[in-house]
Structure 1
Amino acid sequence: MAPGTQMHGKDGLTRVIGQLQGLELPAPAWEERILPARIQRYNPADLEHLCLSGVVTWGRLSPGGAAGADEEPDGELPKARTRRPGPVRNSPLAFVLREDLPAFLVPATEADLLAGLPSAAREVAEFLATRGASFLPEIARGTGRLPSEVEDALWDLVSAGLVSGDGVAGLRLLLGRNKPPARHARLRAVPGGRSGAISGISGRGRPLPAGRWSLWRRDAAEEDPAERDELVARQLLRRYGVVFRDLLVRERNAPPWRVLLLVLRRLEARGEIRGGRFVNGFVGEQFALPEAVESLRAVRRSGDDAGTVILPAADPLNLIGIIVPGQRVSPFSTLAVAYRNGVAIDVAPLGTLRSRLWGRESAAPSP
């Protein structure tokens, strides 16, 4: 992000998640790229604290298949497969303020979500439905499955949009973010320690808790459709400042534009937002928060060079090919995009992109 725009600490992290909630991004991108770019000196323990305290929750909002059945890295539809894929790290996940979760969950029954999943995943889901939130060793004992089988089953259930965890330590291990010394180490109880701790991963000599796993859709109450539509409309305004139809390309779980349009017109009639033409080159109605309009005017008046900002393809601000000219870059790719004053100037793998930009700067004549 641009210098001076980053947040700080747990309060800043809560605000960032509040702005980005509802977006499903590749799971590893959240802590590798998205949150550190927006939080100065990002501390992973802050996210764990917010999850364990019930402020934030995580999981897949939209119905998904078995792990690995998601979008291909190049953005094309998944090709036909002859065998069920194993768990993959790139499954789309979202972080959401727990109180707003019902508004962002895409309606689906547990039976539909379980369809096509392997037997181990169905057994784990049945155990969690009966016993409620449970630690991994408890699930393994209750189902008679090996811990390794339970891990794979949990990731299948996470990818399908059925299961979440109390904290994010278990998710990090499933993603391979925290790797135990042993090559094939798994989630297990630490001998002599608390049940559900992560063996081999410690903070200041003590094991970190992996937390419990549960069927998170059962924790979410039904949301009134009209209230949900208004909350999502307000969320889009909070995320982008200015909202129009073309922006919904990245918002896979949002209501149709015709539904949001009625809500936005109603908010404009109340005087809460403004309607008008704020971004040139796009047809249809546009709506903006009053503070966003003032920010746009300030940028136009200043004319300052904001410098170059490099964003990973998974970042929500990767709008190239959507509202920014250029060929669309899939959020599931390993590419990065360089912006200068809101214009995409280059797309390449991160290392290549940095080398190119540094080369241009060193070759530029001194003022």
Structure 2
Amino acid sequence: MPPEVLARFLPAWHGIGAESSSIDRLADVVFQLQGLALPASVIERDVLSARVRDYRPRLLDELVSMGEVVWAGRGSLGQQDGRVALIHGRLREQLARRPSFFPELYTAAGGGDTDAVLDALWDLVWAGEVTNDTFAPLRAIGGGRSRRPTRPGRPRLPRLTHPRAVGRWSLTADLRAAPPAPTERLHALAGVLLQRHGVLTREAVLAEGTPGGFAGVYPVLRAMEEAGRIRRGYFIEGLGASQFALPGAVDRLRGLREPDGRIVALAATDPANPYGIVIPWLESAGRPARAAGAYVVLESGELKLFLERGGRSLLTFGSVDVGHLAALATAAGAVGKVELLKVDGASIHDSGLQPALREAGFKSSPRGMVLLA
């Protein structure tokens, strides 16, 4: 089957546009995404909201506070963003000590500059060593630091209720079970990858930065195939012979052989978007990338639009109509104001897309076209 079939399959496999809005649906979504490092800025705004209808932050907070979900940092992306992985499981009973609120941590650090202590805490967060019992601090990091003005000659009191400091903090090591045996760990990893991708390829494994790469999980996948638990085959053309899939995924993949006309807008970093990982980016006048804040629009699995991070440049692939632009406007509008200046490397004023953009909700501006949230 051609790669476009995989691009039709993945949004369906991930339940993009699902009708359910329950906390159970969110728990299922986290189970499928667990362990995958995603930019904190897109997890709720783009990834979870695409899978849970009318997503509300309190749902994730509830799962975190119950111990059903733990989040852990996977590296900083500048001062206002970073990669975060969600981990699913009942882990709270394994706590060896009581979690601490920030005032306790501040006192233990000897007081002083509140921001310095908070920055030190977040260094540990991005290193994956510290987590919190709410997702609220991650929502606050995009606002940057906030220092209250003080009157001359009057000492500034420590601000211990900064949005980045709320909730109870814990060491992630205290929330995890004892490390499993290597074989057990590889079997669990293979299961997680199969649940996430449905059809697992070498490219998908490498893109996740899996320790040991594809060679590390290959023996386990082969053993699972020999046991009849998964299937091996050349399901997608051009992706090599080492493709493994869950039986249900193969049936679903075959059911999507024909174009379905479905238009889907996704964050470029969403695992339901295969472009830039499993499927190479198509030739264009720009340089599309899987960056936080960038978006793609697919129709029947074919790439139609790419909006770069910041929303100033749009790349088109083949014929584009109002339906594609409307889907893009709905997704990108969640970020806030989008001011589009270029289309395919040229000024938007020289583009024939202006009428369709207006119909999709964009307004003319002196420099280009603007979409307001």
Structure 2 counterpart of 1:288, from 240, 245, 260: 245
**Cα RMSD (Å):** 3.5
The residue that corresponds to 2:124 in the other structure is 157
Distance 1:15-1:351 versus aligned 2 partners, 3 A rule = farther
- Cα-to-partner distance string for 1:30-54 (whole Å, 9 max, x where unaligned): 1121111111000100100100100
How far off is 1:100 after superposition?
8.5
User: Matches of residues 318-329 of structure 1 in structure 2 within 5 Å?
Assistant: 318-326=273-281, 329=288
Secondary structure in structure 1 of the residue aligned to 2:180: coil
The residue that corresponds to 2:303 in the other structure is 344
The answer (yes or no) to whether the contact 2:130–2:171 under 8 Å persists in 1 is: yes
The answer (yes or no) to whether the contact 1:311–1:336 under 8 Å persists in 2 is: yes
Structure 2 counterpart of 1:44, from 47, 51, 57: 57
Q: Does 1:246 align with 2:246?
A: no
How far off is 1:91 after superposition?
1.3
Distance 1:147-1:212 versus aligned 2 partners, 3 A rule = same
User: Matches of residues 264-283 of structure 1 in structure 2 within 5 Å?
Assistant: 264-283=221-240
Distance 1:183-1:53 versus aligned 2 partners, 3 A rule = farther
Q: Does 1:14 align with 2:27?
A: yes
The answer (yes or no) to whether the contact 2:68–2:91 under 8 Å persists in 1 is: no
The residue that corresponds to 1:298 in the other structure is 255
- Cα-to-partner distance string for 1:219-249 (whole Å, 9 max, x where unaligned): 3221211111111111111111101212123
For 1:257 and 1:100, locate their aligned partners in 2 and report how far apart those are by CA, in whole Å.
29
How far off is 1:19 after superposition?
0.4
For 1:6 and 1:351, locate their aligned partners in 2 and report how far apart those are by CA, in whole Å.
32
Distance 1:303-1:347 versus aligned 2 partners, 3 A rule = closer
Distance 1:169-1:281 versus aligned 2 partners, 3 A rule = same
Q: Does 1:141 align with 2:107?
A: yes
- Cα-to-partner distance string for 1:266-290 (whole Å, 9 max, x where unaligned): 1111111111111111223111111
For 2:149 and 2:238, locate their aligned partners in 1 and report how far apart those are by CA, in whole Å.
53
For 1:225 and 1:34, locate their aligned partners in 2 and report how far apart those are by CA, in whole Å.
31
Structure 1 counterpart of 2:79, from 88, 109, 116: 88
Structure 2 counterpart of 1:174, from 134, 141, 144: 141
How far off is 1:21 after superposition?
0.9
Q: Which amino acid is 1:147 matched to?
A: T
TM-score (norm: length of structure 2): 0.69
Unaligned runs of 5+ in 2: 1-10, 151-155, 315-320, 327-352, 358-373
Secondary structure in structure 1 of the residue aligned to 2:266: strand
The answer (yes or no) to whether the contact 1:52–1:167 under 8 Å persists in 2 is: yes
Unaligned runs of 5+ in 1: 71-86, 102-128, 190-197, 202-208
For 1:258 and 1:100, locate their aligned partners in 2 and report how far apart those are by CA, in whole Å.
30
For 1:187 and 1:249, locate their aligned partners in 2 and report how far apart those are by CA, in whole Å.
45
Aligned identity (percent) is: 35
How far off is 1:11 after superposition?
0.4
Q: Does 1:211 align with 2:167?
A: yes
For 1:253 and 1:6, locate their aligned partners in 2 and report how far apart those are by CA, in whole Å.
32
Distance 1:319-1:304 versus aligned 2 partners, 3 A rule = closer
Q: Which amino acid is 1:321 matched to?
A: G
Distance 1:93-1:245 versus aligned 2 partners, 3 A rule = same
Structure 1 counterpart of 2:45, from 23, 32, 46: 32
The answer (yes or no) to whether the contact 2:232–2:242 under 8 Å persists in 1 is: yes
The answer (yes or no) to whether the contact 1:22–1:95 under 8 Å persists in 2 is: yes
Q: Which amino acid is 2:307 matched to?
A: A
Structure 2 counterpart of 1:313, from 268, 271, 274: 268
The answer (yes or no) to whether the contact 1:165–1:171 under 8 Å persists in 2 is: no
Q: Which amino acid is 2:143 matched to?
A: G
For 1:53 and 1:344, locate their aligned partners in 2 and report how far apart those are by CA, in whole Å.
40
The answer (yes or no) to whether the contact 2:18–2:53 under 8 Å persists in 1 is: no
User: Matches of residues 350-365 of structure 1 in structure 2 within 5 Å?
Assistant: 350=311, 353=314, 357-358=325-326, 359=353, 362=356
Q: More displaced, 348-357 or 153-162?
A: 348-357
The answer (yes or no) to whether the contact 1:151–1:187 under 8 Å persists in 2 is: no
- Cα-to-partner distance string for 1:148-194 (whole Å, 9 max, x where unaligned): 222211111111221111111233233439x99978999956xxxxx
For 1:339 and 1:303, locate their aligned partners in 2 and report how far apart those are by CA, in whole Å.
11
TM-score (norm: length of structure 1): 0.70
Count, aligned residues: 295
